[in-house]
């Protein structure tokens, strides 16, 4: 079974409180989402493989470590996942970025895929899917399906707020994929929104509605 880990660093929890407040405006919301993503990726990347490399320091030759293998791919689920990308690239600036466009039907809550653009050779890359919200889990499950269909073998899912219903559905669908979240919230309401949550993440990031 995949792991579900809440990253409860005080700075993450502090910034999450700021964006939960309905009076937090677009500019501050956007900034905090990126900052939380940046703080989270430090922990998410903890098990990345390393390899030895020879360098010449100003003093002597030395054997040191660098990240092994092909470049990591950050995959935002559009739209709201876009809000986390810059924060992650602050710490992994060489990462590639693949995009998955998906929207949730407001009536049925079913996800619909409308766009996928990935780098090559997903088989040999670490994939980090980002989306602030894991609600029913439908979008995240479909995003992982889309990556696996294209050959991805090593995938992590990173969100800010997760509902227990979404975590359960995701683990059942993809037991090989770990989830990292800044919070495990209480439940989904009848409209499919996470409670207490933070509302519609896409609208709050982009100032729509």
Identity of the residue, 135 or 155, whose beta carbon is nearer to ligand URA in the bound complex:
135
Minimum separation from the CB atom of position 4 to ligand PRP (A): 14
- How far apart (Å, rounded) are the C-alpha atoms in residues 79 and 94? 22
For position 122 contacting ligand URA by CB under 6 A, the verdict is no
- How far apart (Å, rounded) are the C-alpha atoms in residues 106 and 208? 16
For position 84 contacting ligand URA by CB under 6 A, the verdict is no
Examine the residue annotation and report whether 136 is marked as an active-site residue of this protein: no
For position 76 contacting ligand URA by CB under 6 A, the verdict is no
Q: Which of the residues 148 through 177 are near ligand URA (CB under 6 A)?
A: none
Binding site for ligand PRP (CB under 6 A): 77-80, 102-104, 109, 111, 131-140, 166, 192, 200-202
Binder of residue 206, out of ligand URA, ligand PRP, none (CB less than 5 to 8 A by kind): none
Binding flags for ligand URA, 178-207, as an x/- string (CB under 6 A): --------------xxx--x--xxx-----
Minimum separation from the CB atom of position 201 to ligand URA (A): 4
Choose among 149, 160, 167, 151: nearest CA to 196: 160
Active-site entry in 108, 145, 176, 208: 108
Examine the residue annotation and report whether 203 is marked as an active-site residue of this protein: yes
Secondary structure (H, E, C), the chain: CCCEEECCCHHHHHHHHHHHCCCCCHHHHHHHHHHHHHHHHHHHCCCCCEEEEEEECCCCEEEEEEECCCCCEEEEEECCCHHHHHHHHHHCCCCEECEEEEEECCCCCCEEEEEEECCCCHHHCEEEEECCEECCCHHHHHHHHHHHHCCCCEEEEEEEEECHHHHHHHHHHCCCCEEEEEEECCEECCCCCEECCCCCHHHHHHCCC
Binder of residue 197, out of ligand URA, ligand PRP, none (CB less than 5 to 8 A by kind): ligand URA
Examine the residue annotation and report whether 200 is marked as an active-site residue of this protein: yes
Question: How many amino acids of this chain bind ligand URA (CB under 6 A)?
Answer: 10
Examine the residue annotation and report whether 27 is marked as an active-site residue of this protein: no
Active-site entry in 86, 104, 150, 178: 104
Choose among 189, 167, 190, 161: nearest CA to 19: 161
Residues at the contact surface with ligand URA, assessed by CB under 6 A:
80, 133, 135, 192-194, 197, 200-202
Active-site positions read 104, 108, 200, 203
């Amino acid at each position: 079974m995949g792991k579900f880990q809440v990253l409860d660093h005080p700075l993450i929890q502090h910034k999450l409180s700021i964006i939960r407040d309905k009076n937090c405006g677009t500019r501050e919301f956007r900034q905090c989402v990126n900052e939380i993503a940046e703080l989270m990726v430090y922990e998410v990347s903890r098990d990345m493989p390393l390899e030895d490399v020879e360098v010449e320091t100003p003093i002597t030759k030395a054997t040191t470590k660098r990240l092994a293998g092909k470049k990591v791919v950050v995959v935002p689920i559009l739209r709201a996942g876009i809000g986390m990308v810059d924060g992650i690239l602050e710490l992994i600036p060489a990462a590639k970025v693949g995009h998955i466009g998906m929207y949730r039907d407001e009536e049925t809550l079913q996800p619909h895929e409308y766009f996928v653009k990935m780098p090559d050779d997903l088989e040999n890359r670490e994939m980090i899917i980002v989306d602030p919200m894991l609600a029913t889990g439908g979008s995240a499950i479909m995003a992982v399906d889309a990556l696996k269909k294209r050959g991805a073998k090593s995938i992590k899912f990173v969100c800010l707020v997760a509902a227990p219903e979404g975590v359960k559905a995701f683990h059942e669908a993809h037991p090989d994929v770990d989830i990292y979240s800044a919070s495990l919230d209480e439940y989904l309401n009848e409209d499919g929104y996470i409670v207490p949550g933070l509302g519609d993440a896409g609208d709050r990031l982009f100032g729509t509605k």
